[in-house]
Amino acid sequence: MSDTNKEIESIREALMELGLHKFDKGCRMTRGERDAADHAEEHAIQAREFVVARFRSLLARVEEDAWKPIATAPLDGTHIQLYYPEVQFIGYYAEYACCWCAFAPGLPELPQEPTHWKPLPAPPAALSSKEAA
């Protein structure tokens, strides 16, 4: 299960928790029932805060992975994914040459300036000893 799917699953579980703790703290409750309702309400507030934090984290991850205008790309030589109309390459901005350089095997020239960019994905996690064997 991917990290995003795990995060979505934890959000779903928290939402289920919110639905399970609906108590009416009316006048006819005993002190023990009111205490239980107060505890359940505190739990629901914590679950709600958890859900909000997870949604913010998920949204940040989605926004991080979105294509951004080339004007916002790093110009310090960082390798990034570049989007040219119809094609994508890994490349970087070469300050010494004042141009974008892309790793484009078999392509003598880039079609034009890139229009968008996004960070490269994180490398895969290290293989466990079982997977490596």
DSSP bridge partners of 100: 93
pLDDT of residue 80: 92
Q: How crowded is residue 50: how many other Cβ atoms within 10 Å of its Cβ?
A: 17
Q: What is the mean pLDDT of residues 8-29?
A: 59
What is the chain's Cα-based Rg?
25
- CA dist 2 and 115 (Å) reads 30
DSSP bridge partners of 82: 89, 117
Give the least confident one: 2-6, 82-86, 96-100, 123-127: 2-6
Residue 7 has pLDDT above 90, yes or no: no
Q: What is the mean pLDDT of residues 99-115?
A: 74
**Which phi and psi (to 5°) does residue 16 adopt?**
-60, -40
109 near 59, Cβ under 8 Å?
no
Q: Under 8 Å CB-to-CB from 9, ≥6 apart: which residues?
A: 1
Give the least confident one: 1-5, 29-33, 51-55: 1-5
Amino acid at 37: A
DSSP bridge partners of 79: none
